[in-house]
Each structure stands twice: as C-alpha cells, then as structure tokens.
Amino acid sequence: MSNDSFVASSKNASVEKGEFTWEAPSNIALVKYWGKLENQIPANPSVSFTLSNCKTTTTLKFVKASEYSLFNQVKFDVYFEGQQKDSFKPKIADFFERIYKYCPYLDSYEFEIHSENSFPHSSGIASSASGMSALALGIMSLEKELNPEMDDDYFYKKSSFLARLGSGSACRSVQGNLVVWGQHAEIERSSNEYGIAYPYQIHPVFTDFQDTILLVDKGQKQVSSTVGHNLMKGHPFAEARFSQAHDNLKNLIPVFENGDLDKFIEIVEREALTLHGMMMSSSPYFMLMKPNTLAIINKIWEKRAVSKIPVCFTLDAGANVHMLYPSQNKTEILEFIKNELVGYCENGHYICDEVGEGSKLL
Ligand code: PMV
C-alpha cells in the first residue's frame, strides 16, 4: 500500500460534532527500532509485545469550526488527567501538521483532547506510544464517520500509519499481541509505513507472557528518542546493527512458533544489550544503564541459572528493566522480585504487566 492510499479523498466535513474514546496500550520491543530515515521510516524492522495494563485513554471531542480556520491550522486544546496542558500542545501541533496531508478534514473542526495514563506520570515509562496511538485512533473514528464505507483493515492500517508519524513505535500499539513494523523479507505484508499483527503461528506461551517493569529511574529520559535515533546516522556500526536486527527477527519466527525459550532469551537479551551498546559507542556516547540496572540483570542471570525458570530482561532507551517470563512462573518470579529486587527500584516501585490484545474503543 503506498502512502497516497492514506490521503482522505476530500475535505468532506459532513459530521457536525461528536466524540470518541480510545484506549491504547504501551508496547515493549523484542527486536528494537533504533535509527530512522525521513518521516519516521525505520532503519530496521522491529517486533514488540503489546502490553495490557500500561495504557493511555484518550477522548477526542470535535465540533465543526464556525468558519474554516487558517488553512492547515488545526485548532485544539489538550487536557491531561483533567487539567489543561498547554505544554503538550507543540508536540501535538507538530503531529497535526504532519498528518494534515492525509486528513485534510482536520482544519474544519475544533478539537478537545482529554487524555490519561494508567501508569504514573513520572515512572520513566514513555507514554508517546500509547498516547499517539490513542489519538490516531480517535482521528480515524472521525474519518470513518465521514466515510462510513471504510473497512476495518484500512481503519487499523491508517491508524497505525498516523500513529507512526506521531512517534515511531506508536504504530505498534494499535492491533495484535505481537506486532511487526518495518519491511522484512520473510514476513509477508510487513511494511515500513505501519505495524501489522504478526502473521504467523504464535506459541501459547507467548500469548500471556509477563512483563514486570522494575522502575530503576523514574526521571525524564536522559536521551530523547529523537536524539537517540539520530545517533545512528554515521554510527560506525550502524549497517551491521541494521542487518543484525533483520537476522534476529528472522530467527524469532521459529521461536514464536515452537516456544523455544532458550533461543528467545538469547535473542531478546542480545537485542537489549546491543541497543545500549549502540548508545555507548555513538558520538556523543551515552550510558543509560544505572548501577541498579546492572545489579538487576546479574540477579536475573543468577536466578535463571539456579532455578531454570526462563526469565530474561529487555531494556528501552533508559535504566528501567523489563523482566519477561511465562505466566506459569508468575508466583515464583513475583516472590523473587519482592525478596531480592525491590531494593534496586526507585521507592521500591515496579509495575506488573502482560501481553495484551491492542487498542479498544470504549
Ligand atoms: O518510538 P520512539 O521514537 O520513541 O523510539 C522507541 C525506541 C525504543 O523504545 C528504544 C525501541 C523500540 O523499538 O521501541
């Protein structure tokens, strides 16, 4: 599907007013997206588990503007957890500007965006994936009102496409429990433009895999993802890294099918450490792990060796640790966290999550 197929056909604004509320989850990448081209086209394909508990709920209210506002200027106000939040406006204005070409009806309306997250604001968990995805879905609900013939396939593809223009990884928060984004030779229909639900067999062990997020550092990210992705431009190891991501995704295909957790662990942990390795070897260089991140990783390795429980970790571009394990080991792993890992978490905080199904219209 080319970009042009996502341009809404007219400026039709036949709907007077309305509102839609969407809930969209966060996601955790197993093969990481790190490095991009123009317009959030990823430098390599990625795959993620969709989460269930960490999510954003966004109500998009719209009313037809009394007279057309400035061409290409979308009028909106943003409320976060009940409070007007002008500081969120520039990022959203930027988003509207980027998607205007595909949604030319936007400047015929005035919007109110009401958002809240299920996870604490300063938890070090980025809300851009869930937030941009929930907003994109709300916009597509309006577009579907304007064009009722739209089918579900187009609705979700374009939602993911718009979400990607807001924040790359947001395109993996729309639909499916395992989501691939970025063209891959062995994954049919995979696309750089939007995320797709992983199209092959998924072993039952992965359908309720657990992700417990140990909050080592709840502060603002030390390196924004925009800065981070740019560090891959001219990085001496960039090409090798991009090709490794293709190989890792290819090697995960049989793992997703047969549930080989040893192989899963090897690929997922190497991906996390490579992401951090890229940051440690870029110019300028960054160290995003904290001493407690390393302490937790060592504890996980020790636990795995002793108990033989297939528990592993992954990391985002920060110090928090995502512990991944099968649901049948939940009791023992949560005991282990309470007894041996909470001391490494800021204020003893951690968040229990698991694989979920994607967004929901409320
Ligand atoms: O979507 P962005 O631009 O915030 O980038 C996300 C990058 C990582 O979280 C580090 C990896 C990923 O694939 O989610």
How many other C-beta atoms lie within 10 A of the C-beta of residue 347? 7
What's the pLDDT tens digit per position in 72-95?
688 999 999 999 999 999 999 999
At residue 10, does pLDDT exceed 80?
Answer: no
Q: How far apart are CA 30 and CA 270, in angstroms?
A: 10
Which of 28, 31, 34, 223 gets mutated to test ligand 1 (max ligand atoms within 8 A of its CB)? 34
Calculate how far, in angstroms, residue 225's C-alpha sits from the geometric centre of ligand 1.
Answer: 7
Give pLDDT, residue 33: 98
d(CA 137, CA 24): 9
Q: What is the DSSP letter of 178?
A: E
What is the CB < 6 Å shell around ligand 1?
A: 29, 32-34, 46, 128, 167-169, 225, 275, 316-317
Domains (range + CATH), the chain: 3-201 (3.30.230.10), 205-354 (3.30.70.890)
Distance 263 CA to ligand 1 centre (A): 23
The best mutation among 46, 160, 169, 273 to test binding of ligand 1, ranked by most ligand atoms within 8 Å of the C-beta, falls on 169
Q: Are 222 and 286 in contact (CB under 8 A)?
A: yes
pLDDT tens digits, residue range 206-254?
A: 999 999 999 999 877 788 888 999 999 999 999 999 999 999 999 999 9
The confidence band for 68, taking pLDDT boundaries of 50, 70 and 90, is low
Centroid of ligand 1 to alpha carbon of 128 (angstroms): 9
Mean of pLDDT over the chain: 94
pLDDT band at residue 123, thresholds of 50, 70 and 90?
low
pTM for the full predicted model: 0.96
Q: What is the model's pLDDT at position 335?
A: 98
Q: Could you tell me the distance, in angstroms and rounded to a whole number, from the CA of residue 169 to the centre of ligand 1?
A: 5
Percent of the chain with pLDDT over 90: 88
| Alpha-carbon Rg for the chain in angstroms | 20
Span 20-56, pLDDT tens digits: 999 999 999 999 999 999 999 999 999 999 999 999 9
CA of 34 relative to ligand 1 center, distance in Å? 7
Q: Specify the residue with its C-alpha closest to ligand 1, atom 9.
A: 316
**103: which 2 tokens?**
């949604």
d(CA 136, CA 294): 37
Which pLDDT does position 122 carry in this prediction?
A: 66
Residue 33: closest CA among 325, 286, 241, 298: 241
Contacts of 338 (CB under 8 A, 6+ apart): none
Q: What is the spatial distance between Cα 203 and Cα 178, in angstroms, rounded to a whole number?
A: 11
